[in-house]
Chains A and B, each alone.
Chain A
């Protein structure tokens, strides 16, 4: 585990420029000069209490590709995220931009009130005139792939069903905002899959992980959410229960992003981080500990492209989802060779960044279209929305196909 303070790692930079050659954003726009310049180099000119010297760091999408290719361990994406936060703190963004960013970065707020009137709200939010107004007044691009609210949030389904009996062990499920309000099917598949492995699934009250706020530089608001989650979940971690999530960016936030960016390194934060798992990581580790698959997997005769999203690769665990998907008989898997789909959380929803995001994703979109797949598999919700939006091919979470293969 890397315990170096983020900013200190800039001294490891040897100016090899590998990060610039790999940066998906710098490749398609001159508005972002590249990770080396914005990260380790510009960071030398940023000092507490002084105005930030360069605003182009706001064009960093936070995809972390730079971190993944850096041969000397500079935490470029985190340096950029903190630089953006000090821009926000210093008032370098207009009130309108901050309003827009806060609207995008608080999916829970909309979901919590919105699901009750979902059909009405969906019709309203997806209407041409509302999108045009949001485009002009707020800066939310009218073409961006806004998700659709469901009428029955995940937890309503979960708590409304009879508790299965006979489980010998327990697991805590962290669903995240998108499973709760937009894609409860992912949560239903996860619960069934975990139960098929003999777990009793517990879904405690929880809140947004805070990542959208973190990546918009709204650190104080993110801190409140993160603290809230630590408070609600650490008791389970202390009892030794694994906390498993299907939203890869949520689990990464609980593991690393939030404590690191917010400098929260107390025992509770560390314990929660250690006990948090991505679902595929968790299932692969069960198999590695010698547990056999509880059932024979049924064939899923489809041709599918798997894309490991940036936030998933940033767990630095390889590709556990791919390892699981490879076990499904007759699933004809095409692997994505692209680094990023472009959306990067809330980035691609923004008017000034929509085109950049679409250009970043183009090689991946082309691969999806050319490979003739009938479905795209991806661990991150906003990436799924972007991929379906750009290619017209439906996108699912790996757990959905796994549940199918398990017959649950």
Chain B
């Protein structure tokens, strides 16, 4: 059997797409398969690298680089330690470059964390944020106006403003009741984002908003300022309102996450790769320590995907890459890889649910060697051509650390290169 592709990537979240893009750039024929484009459609569109350090879970990290250095020294099995600080930095700037080239710059670097408002008005430490969000930085204390839309169910401006005000950030809210929206049967974030692309709709918004600006120095909108040309939308609104404008992430589907998805899928395709949705990987076939094929569910058959190297970026417990059986036993869904984590369900959580310490189950994942290949009990790779990236990896509660996206980007980038190298070795 001759493989039709060099690298098969399973999963189209940040980790999978970064890996696919890098492998394709390195000259491999790449195919990405995904059940549905999940993770990025639920994603705030920012890259959290390290928001809270394990040793201080109360105060957000101010400078991720220093905290990262501490983390990789203290925990050599951490995904970040496997990549190395330099590797993290390279991966982040690669992502920044591809976004910049797409006209959607991500601002920030490892020397500093932004503090941006979340959908409920909490403070959200994040390292890279799209240009459309950075004016919401809560290190500043100038007054904010938070705007919502009558009929939009996925954003509550009053909640955001009240919570910000309680944290000593002067904020008010306003809900716009626009005649052009009343006719719409439903207002999802995407519907609104499409409307915002039209200059006439922006004129209506600005007109309704101008009398309510008061002494607000900046205006926060739900993150629906355009699907394709958000910078243009933001700048136009700023010109019309005479105020700085920024976006706050909404409930899913999240437009900023979809923008990242579109940019990365396009980058994969530009580099010659294919991305297919509607393909659920259900099992794999291995021989002589190499994965030979992964099978996806198709109409009336299983569809084999043969490749020289395979990237597993199927997510963790939340994304569906790891599932728990009824008895609490954790397992990786496609290859049945061993999962490092609590042995029984009684050890999943600590005694106090809201304790500041991590719950062990959230750090569960697949243990890997220095090339991100899954290892067995003795630390020996189980397959020489299988690489794991993102949330599937063991080692940390990345949600609690606010490090999910950073780990996905950094490990995805690294795994893409490891996979490409393994293809080159196999061809030799």
Contacts and interface: CB of A to CB of B under 8 A. Distances in A.
B215 interface: no
A18 B37 contact: yes
Interface string A1-40: 1100000000000001110110000010010011001000
Contacts of B302: 1
Given A18-B41, A318-B276, A70 B188 contact: no
Given A18-B41, A20-B188, A21-B188, A68 B277 contact: yes
Interface string B121-144: 000000000000000000000000
A255 B258 contact: no
Contacts of A335: 269
B299 interface: yes
A71 interface: yes
B4 A288 contact: yes
Interface residues of A, number: 40
Contacts of A288: 1-2, 4, 306
Nearest to A256: B299
Nearest to A308: B276
A67 interface: yes
B276 A319 contact: yes
B279 A273 contact: no
B253 A30 contact: no
Contacts of A266: none
Given A16-B252, A316-B303, A70 B36 contact: yes
B185 A69 contact: no
Contacts of B306: 288
Contacts of A67: 278
A273 B298 CA distance: 11
A289 B194 CA distance: 46
Contacts of B190: 20-21
Contacts of B41: 16, 18, 21, 71
Q: Which of under 10, 10 to 19, 20 to 34, or 35 or more describes the interface residues of B?
A: 35 or more
A338 interface: no
B37 A71 contact: yes
Nearest to A270: B300
B36 A69 contact: yes
Contacts of B296: 316
B2 A252 contact: no
A98 interface: no
Interface in B251-307: 252-253, 258, 269, 274, 276-280, 296-303, 306
A335 B37 CA distance: 20
Contact of B300 (A34, A72, A274, A319): A274
A318 B2 contact: no
B188 A17 contact: yes
A248 to B, nearest CB: 11
Nearest to B303: A317
B383 interface: no
B12 to A, nearest CB: 10
Residue of B35, B36, B38, B184 most packed against chain A (CB within 10 A): B36
Nearest to B193: A21
A318 B299 contact: no
Interface in B1-43: 1-2, 4, 31, 33, 35-38, 41-42
B90 interface: no
Contacts of B301: 1, 255, 274
A225 to B, nearest CB: 18
B186 interface: yes
A71 B35 contact: yes
A73 interface: yes
A401 interface: no
Given A18-B41, A288-B1, A68 B186 contact: no
A318 B4 CA distance: 12
B194 to A, nearest CB: 8
A252 B424 CA distance: 38
Nearest to A68: B278
A203 interface: no
Identify the 7 closest CB pairs spanning chains A and B, nearest first.
A71-B36, A68-B278, A71-B38, A273-B300, A255-B300, A256-B299, A316-B298
5 contacts: A18-B38, A21-B253, A67-B278, A68-B278, A288-B4
